[in-house]
Structure formats: structure tokens, C-alpha cells
Amino acid sequence: MAIPFTLRQLEYFLAVAEFGSVTAAATNRNVSQPSVSVAVADLEAVIGQRLFQRQAGHRLTISPAGRRLLVQARTILAAAGEIVGPNATPDGRHQLSVACFRDIGPMYLPRLHGWPLRGCGHL
């Protein structure tokens, strides 16, 4: 069975619900405003209901169908995040913990990360 929507569409929907604006959601996700608009419109087409109530000059208001999807979308995205693992950040990047001796750490770790050496103290 093919799933007719993507996790990215759910992610953009959540951002719009959180920020109340397609433009603010796009800025937060570092994508273009049309990308978010199309994702939400496609999601509305799949569901067959409006997810937001739109009024010119006002923030978007989530509809009753949008509120129901909001709960489900959070659950789905949290479950999808579990697949990536506990070290993943919400934007999909991974965290890395590094340990080293305190006498050589200040000399090598900044270079590995691309930081300048000045102001680097003991770890």
C-alpha cells in the first residue's frame, strides 16, 4: 500500500501550525515559501479537508481537521525520529561526543571542528 503523503509534508504542516504563517514556517525550515505552500496544499488534497482557515492579513488558524492531524503528525514524526536513533537532532543531523586528554585536546579539537585556537582552554 502506497502512502499518499510524505514526512516532509507533515514536517512543513507542523511548522505552519506552530508559526501560524507559511512564510515563517519556510524561514524556520530554510526552504522557500512556495515549497511549504505546495506541501500543505498537497496534504490537504490527500486528506480532502482544509487544514488551515485562511483570512487575508491574518495569521493562519488551524481547522478542526488540522487539529486532528496535528496530534497524529507529531506522533508519526516522533516515531520516524526513533528510527534515526537517539543521537539525531530534530533537523536530522547527528550529535557526536568526543573525549580526549586535556593536555592535547585544546590543540587538536578546535582544528577538527574548524574553530580558531585562540581562547581555547582545557577540556
Q: Where do the H-state alpha helices sit in the chain? A: 7-19, 22-29, 33-47, 64-84, 105-113
Assigned CATH class of 7-84:
mainly alpha
Q: Which of 42, 43, 16 is nearest to 28 (CA)?
A: 16
Domain residue limits, the chain: 7-84, 93-123
pLDDT tens digits, 11-55: 999 999 999 999 999 999 999 999 999 999 999 999 999 999 988
pLDDT tens digits, 81-104: 888 766 656 565 666 666 767 777
**What integer pLDDT is reported at residue 65 of this predicted model?**
96
Greater model confidence, 107 or 52: 52
Backbone angles phi, psi at 59, to 5 degrees: -65, 155
Q: Is the pLDDT of residue 4 over 80?
A: yes
**What is the value of pTM for the model shown?**
0.68
Find residue 88's DSSP bridge partners: 94
